[in-house]
Amino acid sequence: MITSLSNDKIKHVISLRDKKRVRDEENLFITEGKKLFKDAPENMTVEVYLTGAFLRDLSNDNRNDLLEKLESTGFEEVTDKVMAKMSGTVTPQGIMCVMKKPEYSLDDLIGDVPLLVVLERLQDPGNLGTIMRSSEGAGATGVIMTGDCVDLFGPKAVRSTMGSVFRVPFLYSRDVMKDIIRLKKAGVRVFGTSPEGRSVYSRCDYGGGTAFIIGNESSGMSEEAKKISDDLISIPMGGELESLNAGVSASILLYEARRQRTG
């Protein structure tokens, strides 16, 4: 059992929690909680830390599937005080994991009939988590992000994905305009999103290869992205709203594409 707050392993987990640079250099990230442990692929799981109380609760709950997984992954027990130090939440759930980052290429995201979301300079981890969940639910083939988007592997974003981070292919693009051109050459129609868009989103055809560009929360899409789009679409709104939350907008578009594709 690890009892010391100055233990090197504990310091390493905290550095992965707090520092994007460390996550990038080591290609690792952390997850916290029972659900994310359950969803995490075993071949991506590097280390598991848990409290005695968590282990007792599992045993009393007859959660044999999770106990069997713990036997396979192995784990280190830590005190409640150490877990509180490691955790990024007010009320730790008693289990944390160090995970390998999944890696994908653009080809992995395209699929037979692509349905993609392209994110430009998105900054809110909650929005990113929502978009990852909606992408999974709507059957999207992937999410492409510009390099200056919020880090998908920061603790808040990981928690917000609710496990979709393990199931939705994604890519941080080094040159998003070049990647969009490649998508267009592959037959993907690119829809930019803007309150000034002339086309109402529900009147467009998303039955073929489709990509939606979602811009920055405050400034929207870049002019370059608007020019490269095949069409600019808008979501009509009542009241005095000027725009919708980026996560909500992406979800509406993704589920309209799913509706059209599934009838």
pTM: 0.94
Q: How confident is the model at residue 237 (pLDDT cuts 50, 70, 90)?
A: confident
Residue 6: CA atoms inside 13 Å, Cβ hemisphere, count? 0
pLDDT above 90 covers what percent of the chain? 87
List domains and CATH numbers for the chain: 8-100 (3.30.1330.30), 106-262 (3.40.1280.10)
Mean pLDDT, residues 237-261 taken together: 90
With beta carbons less than 8 A apart as the criterion, state whether 44 and 71 touch.
no
pLDDT at position 156 over 80: yes
Mean pLDDT, residues 68-76 taken together: 95
Chain position carrying tokens 């909680």: 33
pLDDT of residue 62: 65
φ and ψ at 30, to 5 degrees?
-120, 150
pLDDT at position 231 over 90: yes
With beta carbons less than 8 A apart as the criterion, state whether 125 and 156 touch.
yes
Residues 6+ apart with CB under 8 A from 16: 22, 23, 26, 28, 29, 30, 98
pLDDT of residue 88: 78
Give CA torsion, residues 164, 207, 149, 103, to 10 deg. 50
Strand-pair partners of 96 = 32, 49
With beta carbons less than 8 A apart as the criterion, state whether 99 and 30 touch.
yes
User: Could you give the CA distance from residue 117 to residue 208 in angstroms, rounded to a whole number?
Assistant: 14
- For 193-202, the pLDDT digits (tens) are 998 899 999 9
With beta carbons less than 8 A apart as the criterion, state whether 85 and 7 touch.
no
- For 27-69, the pLDDT digits (tens) are 999 999 999 999 999 999 999 999 999 999 888 776 678 999 9
Mean pLDDT, residues 107-126 taken together: 95
Residues 6+ apart with CB under 8 A from 87: 32, 93, 96
